[in-house]
Structures are given as structure tokens and as C-alpha cells.
Amino acid sequence: MAYYNSQQTVTLVGVYQGYTNGYYVFELENGDIIDFEQINKKNLEHFDLKSSTFKNKKFEITYKEIFDDVDDEDLVIFKLHDLQLL
């Protein structure tokens, strides 16, 4: 099978749950939990997400879903691109 890589940009609303085990965790409006391991550094300049200041705050979240086929195993990476406090 051929190697592939694709990206999709998604914008949703979610509530910040905190920074846990190296992940920025948000609960989406539909109840799903999404963990971001990668984050655009400009967001960290505006929001100190490692502190509890923004915990339980609602954000508009724009992120990329990066799909990779590595060694015939599908891998999905969520990269937080932009945050807007609501």
C-alpha cells in the first residue's frame, strides 16, 4: 500500500479542561474530548494554558487533523492552530 499524508482544518467550540500529561485537553460541545500534543506557539503567547487561568473557559478552536500512514498503520495527529476566547 502506498504511503499517504493528508491534512484537514476544523473549527469547533470547546471548553478547556487543562494541561495533562503533555496534552492540551478540550471538551467539545458534542461531549467528545480532544487532546492536542502540538500547538501553534502564538497561542501560548496569548494564553498560558499550563496555568489554571483558562481552565473551564470556552474557546473557538481551529485545528488541523493530520492523517499519516506510517508502516501501514493510520496515525492521526491533532495540531492546535488558533484559539479565540469566547
CB 64 within 8 A of CB 7: yes
- Regarding the domain with residue range 5-85, which homologous superfamily does it belong to in the CATH classification? NigD-like N-terminal OB domain (2.40.50.500)
Backbone angles phi, psi at 44, to 5 degrees: -70, -25
Report for 12-21, 38-47, 72-81: range of highest mean pLDDT:
12-21
What percent of the chain stands above pLDDT 90? 62
What per-residue confidence (pLDDT) applies to 71?
62
What per-residue confidence (pLDDT) applies to 2?
47
What percent of the chain stands above pLDDT 70? 86
**Structural domain spans, the chain:** 5-85
Over residues 47-79, the pLDDT tens digits come to: 999 999 999 999 999 999 887 766 666 777 889
pTM of the model: 0.82
DSSP one-letter string for 35-82? EESEE-HHHHHH--TTSSTTTT-EEEEEEEEEEEEETTEEEEEEEEEE
What's the mean per-residue pLDDT of the chain?
A: 87
Q: How many CA atoms lie within 13 A of 24 on its CB side?
A: 27
